[in-house]
Structure 1
Amino acid sequence: MRLAERADDWHAACAADAALAALGCPGEVGFGIRAGDDVVTFAFRDGRLTGAARRTGFEVVAEPEAWRLFFAAEPRPPHHHLFGMLMRVPGTAVTGDEVCFAQHAHLVRRVLEIGRAVLAGPAPEAAAEPGGAVVADQAPEAAGEPGGAVVAGPARPDRIEGRYLRAEVGGEPVRLFCEHAGTGRDVLFLHTAGADARQFHHLMNDDRLAERCRMVAFDLPWHGRSSGPPSEPPGAYALDTERYVATIMAVVEGLELDDPIVVGCSMGGEICLELALRHPGRLGGVVACEAADHVPGRQVAWARDPRVNQALFVPEWVEGLMAPQSPPEHRREVWWGYSQGGFGTFSGDILFYSGDWDARDRVGRIDTARCPVVMLTGEYDYSCTPEMSRRTAGRIPGALFRTMPRLGHFPMAENPGEFAGHLMWALDEIDGKARGTAG
Structure 2
Amino acid sequence: MTMRGGTLHAPAHSRARDGERPPTRLPLVVHVLALGTFLMGTTEFVVAGLLPEIAQDVQVGVGRAGLLITVFAVGMIVGAPLMAMLTLRLPRRLTLVLALGVFAAGHLVVALGSGFALLLAARFLTALATGAFWAVANVVAARAAGPAASSRALGVVGAGAMLANVVGVPLGAFAGQLMGWRGPFWALAVLGAAAMVLIARHVPRDADGDQAVSLRSELSALRSKRLWLVLAACTTTTGGVLSTYTYVAPLLTGETGLAAGLVPLVLVGFGAGALAGFLLGGRLGDHRPYLTTILAPAVTTVLLLAIFLLAGHAAPTVTMITLLGLFGLGANPVLISLGVRFAGEAPTLGSALTVSGFNLGTAVGSWIAGLAIDSSLGATGPAAVGTVIAALTLIPAVTIALVQRRRPGPSPARAANESAGTS
What TM-score do the two structures reach when normalised by structure 1?
0.23
Instruction: Pick the structure with more strand per residue.
Output: 1
What TM-score do the two structures reach when normalised by structure 2?
0.24
Instruction: Pick the structure with more helix per residue.
Output: 2
The structure whose RCO (Cα within 8 Å, separation 6+) is larger is 2
Which of 1 and 2 has greater Rg?
1
